[in-house]
């Protein structure tokens, strides 16, 4: 237990701290208050001194000498008579002790010092009352002086502890200063020590009976007679002690002020050091952040990283993103959402273009076709900024009309100057719809193309406007005619003439026919630049074609020709001839051709043999199996040399022949009743 804790519990120190009665010290062994040898109980704490002496000396109460008992009885009366005078002297110490007992270690040091000063002042003010009055022994006054001196000694002890309390309080203030930088700045400008600063005051602990101020009792006459001079001396020493205490209090005050200034100085230095450490920490953190930002930026803004991000945006195939990551190398053309669409269409149609271009731009600044470039355009912070540039292009449009109208993706690109060759541009490379219109021969001509423009393409595009009017013929009687997948009309009797058709390269025609909800289409036929007025065949292979009809009829007439030769005079019936007809030997045209053969074999006919030449003019398919055929047959009759006749050539036309295709084999149903002779060189008639 420290001395400050003792002071909080009791105003005196125990005898073990100051000595004991066996050592000749006249202090209470329980509370440390000054006592006389005649006291049976401590005037302050009422401790039983008689029992304590018996325990110390080992003497029983009955063994006490009779002289000592007599002396105690004699002195007891004197003590009782002087008790009143002693109590008045004890009031001084009691008042000072009350002040000292109120001191709390958690109080503000200045408040503790004020209480110490007040206790010293009160003791000094009461000193005249300690002067012995008339009829009061000198020894009693000396005893009171010693008690006052003891109280002052305790004051000094507490003063020593004040420094400890002040140090603890200053440490607490420094902790508060460190927690608030704003408060530190204000306190640094304020006076070194604010004595009026409020400090939280601890609750005063309840005092026990032992902590009450000591009650003085009269001192025995024997003590006064033995030390009369020392009592006076003690009074002077008490006065001197009071002055010394005041000086020490002032010196302590000065030392406390000096200590406060030093602590304020140390606090200021501490604040400066903390401020320096704070700024140093901030600087280090800033350097770390800058280093992180630098290495991140160097990776994020590297050429390869920017190239990857650019081509990732292009891969989305969205015009809005494409126009954001690309710029035009020509300042006269600004890339936007509208004019970037042709380039997006080209990317969709050519999936490998992006990967190839990116591979080329990793090591080169430009693609091999010259369309794209990846160049440095400035800086972002301290890092190089790269941009994907696309090279705008120009094209020459050639026509044979002096003032054509040119549209590129619906945008009019017609030059103001009339010329058969016009320059258009600049525009972004890509896939376009190019349309050219013009007036010639009182006809409006129009050409549409779907070119792909890249920087490496040819600079001139031929869009000659020339009218052509071919005749489209098919093996079907009715059907629809399409030119470059655009319907131009319907067949009538297997034919259609196309008027006001503008020729262009790659112009193709095809015929479509629907049978039983199924559409059949002919092979596309090319319309040439010189096909004006020409007939173009657009037969459907699923139906009876001209070639198939031609082959079937040629085989029929070849058999007939063979049978007309002279070596076949014994001919009666021919099963091979019957096989060309669906009805066999029962067919009407089988009988007619068989009759012709028999007449040619008659001796009177002078016919050596007859040749036939077949030409199919048109096949009109009515269905997938039946078709009507128009054809011409040329008869060349050769006579015997003995007859002296020249060959006779006759041509007959048939327009209602009916052919039928079954399981891939074509046979004749009927050659029709419409037989017309269209040529005869009967030189013998």
Domain boundary among 508, 537, 566: 537
Domain boundary among 416, 445, 462: 462
Tell me, yes or no, whether 276 lies in a domain. Answer: no
d(CA 81, CA 383): 106
**Could you tell me if 91 and 240 lie in one domain?**
yes
What element of type H or E holds 672?
Answer: none
pLDDT for 582: 92
Tell me, yes or no, whether 355 lies in a domain. Answer: yes
d(CA 81, CA 140): 12
CB-count burial class (<10 Å; 0-12, 13-18, 19+) for 327: middle
The pTM score is: 0.43
Tell me the two tokens of residue 164. Answer: 């400890």
Exposure letters 332-371 (e unless 16+ CB within 10 A, then b): ebebeeebbbbbbbbbeeeeebbeebbebbeeeebbebeb
Do residues 634 and 649 touch, judged by C-beta distance below 8 A?
Answer: yes
**Could you tell me if 131 and 235 lie in one domain?**
yes
Q: How many CB atoms lie within 10 A of CB 478?
A: 16
pLDDT for 173: 63
Tell me the two tokens of residue 64. Answer: 């006490």
pLDDT for 614: 94
Domain of residue 648 covers 546-680
Residue 145 CA to its chain's centroid (Å) = 89
Tell me the two tokens of residue 562. Answer: 């063979």
How many domains does one find in the chain?
A: 6
pLDDT for 129: 46
Residues of the chain with pLDDT under 50: 1-4, 6-25, 59-67, 69-70, 73-74, 77, 84-86, 88-93, 127-136, 183-184, 186, 190-236, 238-239, 571, 685
**Could you tell me if 618 and 567 lie in one domain?**
yes
**Could you tell me if 374 and 427 lie in one domain?**
no
**Could you tell me if 485 and 445 lie in one domain?**
no
**Could you tell me if 162 and 101 lie in one domain?**
yes
d(CA 379, CA 373): 18
Tell me, yes or no, whether 220 lies in a domain. Answer: no
**Could you tell me if 262 and 311 lie in one domain?**
no
**Could you tell me if 446 and 492 lie in one domain?**
no
| CATH code, domain carrying 455 | 2.60.40
Tell me, yes or no, whether 298 lies in a domain. Answer: no
Tell me, yes or no, whether 362 lies in a domain. Answer: yes
**Could you tell me if 109 and 197 lie in one domain?**
yes
**Could you tell me if 134 and 264 lie in one domain?**
yes
Tell me, yes or no, whether 279 lies in a domain. Answer: no
**Could you tell me if 359 and 408 lie in one domain?**
no
pLDDT for 7: 43
Domain boundary among 462, 480, 495: 462
**Could you tell me if 454 and 533 lie in one domain?**
no
CA angle 475, 544, 471 (to 5 degrees): 10
Residue 502 CA to its chain's centroid (Å) = 56
3-state SS assignment for residue 510: strand
d(CA 594, CA 576): 11
Q: Is the peptide bond before 409 cis (omega within 30 degrees of 0)?
A: no
**Predicted confidence (pLDDT) per residue in 476-533, tens digit:** 888 999 998 999 999 998 899 988 788 888 889 999 998 888 899 999 999 988 888 8
């Amino acid at each position: 237990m420290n001395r400050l804790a003792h002071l909080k519990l009791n105003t005196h120190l125990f005898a073990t701290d100051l000595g004991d009665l066996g050592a000749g010290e006249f202090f209470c062994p329980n509370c440390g208050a000054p006592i006389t040898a005649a006291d049976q109980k401590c005037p302050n704490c009422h401790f039983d001194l008689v029992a304590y002496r018996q325990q110390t000396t080992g003497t029983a109460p009955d063994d006490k000498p009779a002289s000592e008992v007599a002396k105690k009885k004699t002195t007891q009366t004197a003590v009782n008579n002087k008790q009143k005078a002693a109590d008045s002297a004890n009031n001084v110490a009691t008042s000072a002790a009350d002040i000292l007992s109120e001191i709390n270690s958690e109080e503000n040091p200045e408040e503790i010092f004020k209480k110490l000063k007040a206790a010293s002042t009160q003791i000094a003010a009461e000193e005249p009352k300690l002067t012995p009055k008339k009829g009061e022994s000198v020894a009693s006054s000396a005893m009171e002086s010693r008690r006052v001196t003891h109280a002052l000694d305790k004051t000094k002890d507490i003063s020593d502890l004040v420094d400890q309390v002040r140090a603890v309080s200053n440490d607490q203030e420094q902790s508060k200063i460190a927690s608030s930088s704003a408060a530190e700045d204000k306190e640094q400008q304020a006076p070194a020590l604010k004595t009026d600063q409020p400090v939280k005051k601890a609750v005063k602990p309840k005092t026990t009976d032992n902590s009450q101020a000591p009650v003085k009792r009269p001192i025995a006459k024997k003590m006064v007679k033995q030390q009369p001079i020392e009592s006076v001396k003690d009074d002077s020493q008490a006065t001197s002690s009071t002055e010394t205490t005041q000086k020490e209090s002032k010196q302590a005050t000065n030392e406390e002020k000096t200590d406060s200034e030093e602590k304020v100085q140390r606090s200021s230095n501490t604040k400066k050091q903390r401020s320096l450490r704070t700024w140093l920490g901030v600087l280090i953190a800033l350097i770390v952040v800058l280093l992180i930002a630098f290495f991140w930026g160097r990776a994020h803004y590297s050429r390869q990283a920017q190239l990857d991000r650019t081509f990732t945006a292009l891969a989305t195939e969205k015009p809005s993103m494409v126009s954001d990551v690309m710029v035009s190398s020509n300042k006269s053309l600004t890339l936007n959402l509208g004019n970037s669409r042709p380039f997006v269409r080209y990317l969709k149609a050519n999936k490998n273009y992006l990967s190839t271009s990116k591979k080329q731009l990793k090591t080169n600044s430009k693609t091999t076709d010259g369309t794209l470039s990846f160049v440095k355009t400035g800086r972002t912070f301290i890092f190089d900024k790269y941009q994907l540039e696309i090279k705008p292009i120009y094209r020459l449009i050639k026509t044979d009309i002096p003032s054509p109208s040119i549209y590129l993706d619906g945008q009019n690109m017609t030059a103001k100057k009339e010329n058969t060759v016009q320059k258009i541009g600049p525009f972004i490379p890509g896939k376009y719809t190019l349309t050219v219109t013009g007036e010639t021969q009182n006809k409006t001509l129009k050409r549409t193309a779907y070119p792909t423009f890249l920087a490496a393409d040819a600079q001139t595009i031929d869009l000659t406007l020339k009218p052509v009017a071919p005749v489209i013929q098919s093996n079907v009687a009715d059907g629809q005619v399409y030119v470059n997948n655009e319907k131009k009309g319907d067949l009538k009797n297997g034919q259609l003439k196309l008027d006001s058709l503008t020729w262009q390269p790659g112009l193709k025609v095809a015929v479509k026919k629907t049978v039983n909800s199924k559409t059949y289409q002919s092979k596309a036929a090319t319309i040439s630049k010189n096909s004006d007025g020409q007939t173009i065949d657009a037969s459907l292979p699923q139906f009876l074609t001209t070639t198939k009809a031609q082959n079937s009829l040629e085989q029929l007439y070849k058999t007939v020709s063979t049978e007309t030769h002279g070596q076949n005079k014994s001919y009666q019936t021919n099963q091979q001839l019957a096989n060309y007809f669906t009805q066999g030997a029962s067919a009407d045209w089988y009988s007619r051709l068989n009759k012709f053969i028999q007449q040619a074999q008659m001796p009177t006919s002078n016919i050596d043999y007859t040749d036939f030449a077949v030409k199919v003019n048109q096949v009109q398919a009515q269905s997938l199996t039946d078709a009507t055929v128009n054809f011409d047959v040329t008869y060349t009759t050769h006579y015997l040399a003995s007859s002296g006749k020249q060959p006779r050539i006759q041509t007959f036309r048939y327009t209602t022949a009916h052919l039928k295709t079954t399981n891939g084999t074509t046979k004749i149903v009927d050659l029709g009743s419409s037989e017309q002779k269209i040529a005869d060189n009967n030189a013998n008639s």
